[in-house]
A and B are shown apart, each in its own frame.
Chain A
Amino acid sequence: MSDAPVIVHADDLYAGYLPGIDILNGCSMEVREGELIGIIGPNGAGKSTFLKSLFGLVPIRAGSVKLGDEDITNMRADELVQRGIGFVPQNNNVFPSLTVMENMEMGTYQNPKAFKAAWERIGDLFPKLVDRKNQRAGSLSGGERQMVAMGRALMMDPKVLLLDEPSAGLSPDRQDETFVRTREINKTGVTVIMVEQNARRCLQICHRGYVLDQGTTAYTATGQELLKDPKVIELYLGTLGA
């Protein structure tokens, strides 16, 4: 994996929602093709902001983001989708009045010809969605909505998938299912960058992890190394369930 070319490179990012108030104060990250990266940290560390800034949803005031060799800093979301980046937000991640199938169709909006093949692929990954294809997404449970959200993002066959706390609000067994699915998606060759509150579970499945603290990258190492790192255990993982 360490020989694979770098696909996403964020360099010294300063970003925030309001003018003059930076939430990210020099965040950097390097992701190689095919990696599964976990971003963990305490509440308010800037994890979600970091992910959103990569996807152009939070304005970057300094620093740069590159996709391969191309500078994608502050690029519009629809342009990033065109370049192969998919994003699954934490909340409001489905179109509630659209059916499951229509939600999936929105995933291939830029390339409608790819819909049929993509739908078959997603149907294999999430068979439950095929059963519920004509049901309104607004009437689905939290776990099912998460499937729809991931499925929609995967419909466009992205090179890089950004997941913002995919296990948030789910029951423990649904959380497990989500992590297993994420691993499966990554195994198909999709680079995954995932922000997670459930740090321990996240580090168990990811190749490498980044620990964010107060808007800066505090530590980076492989998932297994971070799980054993005394400082990370003391500050972020806690001792319960170790």
Chain B
Amino acid sequence: MTNRVDRRVLLRALVVLVASAAAFFVLTALGTPALAAGTDTAVTHAVASSGEAAAHATQAGTTITAEAAAPAKPGDNRVVQQLVNGLVFGLLLALASVGLSLIYGTTGLSNFAHGEQVSLGALLCFFFTTPQPVSLPLLPFEFSIGLPLIPAAIAAIAVSAGTGWLQDKFLWSPLRRRRVSIVQQMIVSIGLSLAMLNFIQWWFGAERQRLTTSIDERIDMGMFSIGISTLWSVAISLLCLGGVAYFLMRTRTGRATRAVSDNPALASASGIRVDKVVRLVWIMATGLAAVGGILLALYDNAAAFDVGARLLLLMFAAVTLGGLGHPFGALVGSLVIGVAVEMSTLWVGTDLKYAVALAILILVLLVRPQGILGRPERVG
């Protein structure tokens, strides 16, 4: 029965995806103003993965990939290219936002500081990977680390996950124990977000930092092209999201996490140490945010101190669209948002692409208030 229900909701999500893709395809096929615009603009859109990438399209790497991705005929494979870009962006967004969903599910908290965890992950990776002399806050001297990318990424993820442990141990857990209301906790998270944003800017500066100087080689797949490092990012995202799904559905602690998400008081009455589960969720959420931040920075060629803050609304939109607190809501919502954001650039200006994502959020919620995967509960 469960499998049947799950298949049904997945099918529903697929229908939404296909319908939105088809709608965009029809609109583009009808020849909207954006298609009629110059090829350069459209091609730049084709490889722009987010607002930053579009704004910095003059950077060497992006320009090269833009040229590589140039379609032979305008309007021929642009839709497919944008669909692929959207799916990739959606997967990376899912990785960044799945932790937001897990924290909301287990504690009820809408954590506004989650965006900064994404930025922190990316910039910590830069910190560990850069061969330039770097400094730590409050330390009077500089030193160089210059680790290779993969060990640097692992170190950044570990440190980020550590910040999740620290936050829960010294901030969120005491607030919960003192029965501080969820709204008050949310205000605290907004304050923490601002504090972290300023701290990260003070530490790393306002300029965009590149995690790697190498230029991504692109593979021509016929209808679209994709970078090799992007393929790796997609594989890592799928692995991480699959891991989270396996943890939640197949392990005892994962099922306990879902139980805490459903009803913390009853979970405690069943013998589950709710505080331990929530701590684990904080560690996982911040670790996954770091993975998402690093992969987004690689996909975008660079990361800035406010990359997470810019993505926060999209992450909230994805989590809400997918179904608040639903374990796979973040994934489905992110894919829809990713595709909508990237494909909207075919017919509206890049500046409006996030607005399109939020318009889709409103439309879907008007039809399905519980989100795509959310299920209405029986009353009585």
Contacts and interface: CB of A to CB of B under 8 A. Distances in A.
A95 interface: yes
A81 B2 contact: no
A78 B256 CA distance: 13
B155 interface: no
Contacts of B271: 77-78, 81-82, 109-110, 156
Contacts of A152: 270
Interface in A74-96: 76-78, 81-82, 87, 89, 92-96
B266 A109 contact: no
Contacts of B5: 136
Q: Do most interface residues of chain B lie in helix, strand or loop, or is the interface mixed?
A: helix
Give the one of B272, B274, B375, B378 with max A CB within 10 A.
Answer: B378
A106 B380 contact: no
Contact of B256 (A81, A82, A99, A106): A106
Contact of A98 (B259, B265, B268): B259
B270 A109 contact: yes
A183 B261 CA distance: 33
A105 B252 contact: yes
Interface in B15-42: none
A166 B245 CA distance: 35
A93 B266 CA distance: 7
Interface size range on A against B? 35 or more
A112 interface: yes
Contacts of B380: 142, 169
A109 B252 contact: yes
A148 B1 CA distance: 17
Interface size range on B against A? 20 to 34
A37 B47 CA distance: 71
A135 B1 contact: yes
A119 to B, nearest CB: 14
A160 B252 CA distance: 25
B377 A81 contact: no
A92 B262 CA distance: 9
Give the one of A81, A107, A156 with max B CB within 10 A.
Answer: A81
A139 interface: yes
Give the one of A77, A142, A156 with max B CB within 10 A.
Answer: A77
A43 interface: no
Nearest to A115: B252
B159 interface: no
B269 A77 contact: yes
B270 A112 contact: no
B2 A95 contact: no
Nearest to A111: B271
Given A78-B272, A98-B258, A142-B380, A89 B2 contact: no
Interface string A107-142: 101101000000000000000000000111011101
B258 A87 contact: no
B269 A96 contact: no
A99 B255 CA distance: 10
Nearest to A137: B262
B377 A96 contact: yes
A181 B59 CA distance: 73
Contact of B2 (A57, A136, A140): A136
Given A81-B271, A109-B272, A138-B378, 15 more contacts: A76-B268, A77-B271, A78-B268, A78-B271, A81-B269, A95-B262, A95-B266, A102-B258, A109-B270, A112-B252, A136-B2, A136-B5, A139-B378, A153-B269, A156-B271
17 contacts: A57-B265, A57-B269, A77-B271, A78-B268, A78-B272, A78-B273, A81-B269, A81-B270, A92-B265, A106-B270, A107-B270, A134-B1, A134-B2, A136-B1, A139-B378, A156-B271, A169-B380
Interface of A: 55, 57, 76-78, 81-82, 87, 89, 92-99, 102, 105-107, 109-110, 112, 134-136, 138-140, 142, 152-153, 156, 169
